[in-house]
Amino acid sequence: MTLNKPPRIAFQGALGAYSHEACLQARPDGIPVPCTTFDGVLRAVRAGRADLAMLPVENTTYGRVADIHRLLPQSGMHIIEEAFVRVRIALMARPGVALDRIKHVRAHLVLLPQARSFLEAHGITSEPAADSAGAAQELAAGGPDHEGVLASAVAADIHGLNVLADGIEDLDHNTTRFLLMAPDLDLSRRGDHMMTTFVFEVRNIPAALYKAMGGFATNGVNMTKLESYMVGGSFTATQFYADIEGHPDDPAVKRALEELGYFTNMLDILGVYPSHPGRWQTAG
């Protein structure tokens, strides 16, 4: 009998990044494949160096992740799962260094403001780094004793640093939503509650978007996300990214998508996947 091999999952950042934490949550036996950029994550799958891609799409504190909605329709890949990672920020330092010796920290630009209260209370200055887990890796390789890093506790464990304080984020609901993507579209019903994600471009007619959305309202389909973005450098060519609750085979969803088709030039399903329990925990 042939055993299935653990999947190789590409993600942006160094080992210990929050994206790596999302990989561990989704596939505990998976093999992490760190990449420098989001484009690099997608290229790794297309080139066969990874089987799956893990990409962040939005965060409860700072909103959507830049460039992701532009990349997804062009990626040639499809969403098979979603993951919600609670962003817990840990202050870490080299072994043997106490908290009162830390005068300066490095972390990703987005992470620093989320721990402002703790840093100000301890008189710690900060500077941005390209990647928090990467900063942890650099510190472990020989950084100064007065310097620390803000990152996931997973990064401290991987790179041999000591956690001096954990859970120092200002907001206790800070959560990032990730999408696990694969080359093939899976339309099977793999859970009691399903999500469908798609992109579309409305026709150039008056009130096209209003009419396109009407089918979801009249059929009682809940749309949880609608984002617009320009394509081709044109102010008139606008595409929309949408998440809805339900499966394309559900009668109400099927009717809503059919009605949407009347008012669009393009409609492309990016993924059909189970709704993660973290979606309801975040909402509540």
**Residue 233, pLDDT above cutoff 70:** no
Residues in contact with 256: Cβ distance below 8 Å, sequence separation at least 6, in sequence order: 215, 216, 218, 219, 221, 244
Largest CA distance in the chain: 67
Query: Which among 47, 51, 69 has a CA at the least distance from the CA of 11?
Result: 51
Q: Is residue 61 annotated as a catalytic residue, yes or no?
A: no
Catalytic-labelled residue, pool 38, 84, 118, 178: 178
**Residue 197, pLDDT above cutoff 50:** yes
Q: Which of the pair, 98 or 284, is modelled with greater confidence? A: 98
Catalytic-labelled residue, pool 176, 196, 197, 264: 176
Which of the given ranges, 106-110, 128-132, 142-146, 161-165, has the highest pLDDT on average?
161-165
- Domain spanning 8-86+174-182 has what CATH number? 3.40.190.10
Q: How confident is the model at residue 232, as a pLDDT?
A: 63
Calculate what percentage of the chain has a pLDDT beyond 90: 72
Q: What is the mean pLDDT of the chain?
A: 91
Q: Which band of pLDDT confidence, cut at 50, 70 and 90, is reported for residue 283?
A: very low
- The helix/strand/coil state of 174 is coil
Q: Which of the pair, 204 or 43, is modelled with greater confidence? A: 43
| Intrachain domains 8-86+174-182 and 90-166 with the same fold | yes
Distance of alpha carbon 13 from alpha carbon 173, whole angstroms: 23
Q: Is residue 238 annotated as a catalytic residue, yes or no?
A: no
Q: Which of the pair, 151 or 172, is modelled with greater confidence? A: 151
Q: Which band of pLDDT confidence, cut at 50, 70 and 90, is reported for residue 284?
A: very low
Distance of alpha carbon 115 from alpha carbon 108, whole angstroms: 12
Question: For 108, phi and psi rounded to 5 degrees?
Answer: -60, 145
90-166: CATH class: alpha beta
CATH architecture of the domain with residue range 194-283: 2-Layer Sandwich (3.30)
pLDDT (tens digit per residue) in 28-82: 999 999 999 999 999 999 999 999 999 999 888 777 887 787 788 888 899 999 9
Residues in contact with 13: Cβ distance below 8 Å, sequence separation at least 6, in sequence order: 19, 20, 34, 35, 131, 132, 133, 134
**Residue 144, pLDDT above cutoff 60:** yes
DSSP-assigned beta bridge partners for residue 202: 264
Calculate what percentage of the chain has a pLDDT beyond 70: 94
**Domain edges within the chain:** 8-86+174-182, 90-166, 194-283
**Residue 1, pLDDT above cutoff 50:** no
Provide DSSP, 54-96: EEEEEETTTEEPTTHHHHHHHSS-EEEEEEEEE---EEEESTT
Residues 263-271: what's their mean pLDDT? 92
**Residue 278, pLDDT above cutoff 50:** yes
Residues 220-230: what's their mean pLDDT? 89
Q: How confident is the model at residue 70, as a pLDDT?
A: 77
- Tokens representing 280 are 């309801």
Residues 20-26: what's their mean pLDDT? 96
Query: Which among 122, 162, 125, 118 has a CA at the least distance from the CA of 140?
Result: 162
Q: How confident is the model at residue 281, as a pLDDT?
A: 60
pLDDT (tens digit per residue) in 161-192: 999 999 999 988 889 999 999 999 999 999 99
Q: How confident is the model at residue 231, as a pLDDT?
A: 66
